[in-house]
Each structure stands twice: as structure tokens, then as C-alpha cells.
Amino acid sequence: MPERFLEVKIDYRGQDFELIPFGAGRRICPGLNMAHRMLHLILGSLIQKFDWKLEENMKAQNMDMDDKFGLTLQKNVPLKAIPFKI
């Protein structure tokens, strides 16, 4: 639910410990600014240039959305999204 971050003023640059995708403190990711710029471009390009489908016989409503316990949240069963050019 990415929309849970809309309207929320959480700093992702290592100030609010409820969200630290780049770590925090002295060893914080030095690529943070570059990643922040690139991510929007990459994600935007993937959405604009391709349509996406699930594996054969897989329906969105049957997708396994369970997660694994750990330091970061990972899907229990990896999502295989197949791009096809528009």
C-alpha cells in the first residue's frame, strides 16, 4: 500500500526511525541523493514504456501477499511481473 505514505511527513533521510530505507547516521547511504533522482525516472520509464502482466494462470486477486519477517519487509513469495512493450 504505497499510498500509506501520502500526506505523511516522514523524513526518509535517516531522521525518523520508522522509515530508514537508506540507513542512518555516519554510515548512511552516500548514494541517497542519486537514488532519489534515479528512482522516479526508472519507475516512470517502466510504467510509461511497458504494460505488465502476471505469470500464466496467476490472477491478481490470488497473489500471495504474505511477507517475511526481517530487518526489511520482503514478500514471502517473490512477485514475477512480466513486461511487454506497448
Which residue type does 57 have? Answer: N
Binding status of residue 42 toward ligand HEM by CB under 6 A: no
| Window of 3-11, 23-31, 62-70, 78-86 that interacts with ligand HEM by CB under 6 A | 23-31
Note whether 46 binds ligand HEM by CB under 6 A.
no
Residue 35 in contact with ligand HEM, rule: CB under 6 A: yes
* 22 lies in the site for ligand HEM, by CB under 6 A: yes
Phi, psi of 79 (to 5 degrees): -85, 130
Q: Whole-angstrom Cα distance, residue 47 to residue 60?
A: 18
The three grid cell numbers given for residue 43, joined into one nine-digit string:
519507475
CA separation for the pair 9, 19 (Å, rounded): 11
Q: How many residues bind ligand HEM (CB under 6 A)?
A: 12
Q: Which three cell numbers stand for residue 13?
A: 533521510
Which of 31/44 has CB closer to ligand HEM?
31
Residue list for the binding site for heme: 29
